[in-house]
Amino acid sequence: MTPAPAADPVVAAEPTAVADAAELFRALTGSAPAGVWSAPGRANLIGEHTDYNDGFVLPFAIQHRTAAAARLRADGRIRVASTFASEPVEVALDDLDALFPAAGSGTRTPGDTAPATVPEWAAYPLGIAWALRALIPAWAAATLPGVDIAIASDVPVGAGLSSSAAIEGAVASALNELWGLGLDPVTLAQAGRRAENEAVGAPTGIMDQMASMLGHADAAVFLDCRSLETRSIPLGFAEAGLEVLVIDTGVKHAHSTGGYGERRASCERGAAALGIAALRDATPADLPRAAELLDEVDFRRVRHVVTEDQRVLDTVAALAADGPRAIGDLLVASHASLRDDFEVSIPELDAAVEAALAHGAIGARMTGGGFGGAAIALVDHGSVERVSDAVRRAFADAGFAEPHLFTVTPSDGPRRDV
């Protein structure tokens, strides 16, 4: 018999995703998990589409989290379940290389979709297990015990808040401890990126995983995506009386499809034409030469990345010198560049930014990969309702579906909750 939820101390420890994951685990296995681990989603303050160009980003972990309840099993199999799916998925650990054969052989390319043999949601946790096993000797991987994992989340899906990295971080943290791997957070982030790129087929950079794994309260993660060096940057939002308002348009996006791969290819063509390893190596002074070498579309893609890298550096400097109220114009310039040069905004995101700015936001921009998702606005604490109401009116006037608005708080990275 499945124990009653009230009898499980997990419920008292966490009222949301952690409790939901523990409850699903009990329904799946008939007993309590050995532990529940969670990892946060992230919001990106500034630095969009710079990560896969070896550039700079400034994200922060948020209070919304994904939880993974897990326990070892003795039969060498991995079973994953999610509150977002009706049925669990189970495979042998030894079959993971066959499940992701192109990934294992190195022939898989970003943009390929997850294998048809498993639903896409399951490719994330299974991909993490595959990527972690690849980090240890084959003889050791062959002796790893099986595991049951139940996943629940309160990270909004499709809103540009990296629900995928939260899944990867929670599952990686659980497996790292249960399997006794002893891997550091950066290595776990790298495993998450490999799972997303090669097992799922989403051509993302490493920003999301690093932000989720290395987040701290009231701070952003300043990440050099080439060296993976990080620095915690105090934000001071609360002290300055500011809130980060997320405006989720409700328009869902998918990184493994659509124009994301096209943008990445355009950036690679730009770097090749300039004779550099990645657009990180270009500066605004190189843009006139880029304009001569590239067609109009590729040039605008390059201009966005080069100027966005500079905006990240300028934001870090402004936060240190003058505090968070000094960064509004940089956020606005980032959105204009994403809208006009990188062309990943949509009318709903533009309306959200314009309405927020017109009604008192210090700065606003779309966040995430684009083609849907969310915008963020930096707003005085006392103005959140006024700005929110203005955004809702703007959406209604334009005939858009009502957006979902909520504030996010810079928060800590992964933890074991139970």
- The tens digit of pLDDT for each residue in 200-256 reads 988 777 999 999 999 999 999 999 999 999 999 999 999 999 999 999 999 886 554
Catalytic residue among 20, 51, 54, 208: 208
Q: pLDDT value at position 3? A: 34
Q: pLDDT value at position 373? A: 87
Question: Is the separation of the CB atoms in 208 and 197 below 8 Å?
Answer: no
Q: pLDDT value at position 104? A: 46
Query: 237-273 burial, b for 16+ CB within 10 Å, e for fewer?
Result: beeeebbbbbbbbbbebebbebebbebbebbbbbbeb
DSSP annotation of 344 reads -
Polymer length in residues for the chain: 418
Q: Specify whether 208 is catalytic.
A: yes
Cα-based distances in Å from 70 to 19, 100, 101, 254 = 13, 23, 26, 27
Location of structure tokens 């000797």: 137
Residues of the chain with pLDDT under 70: 1-15, 101-116, 158, 253-258
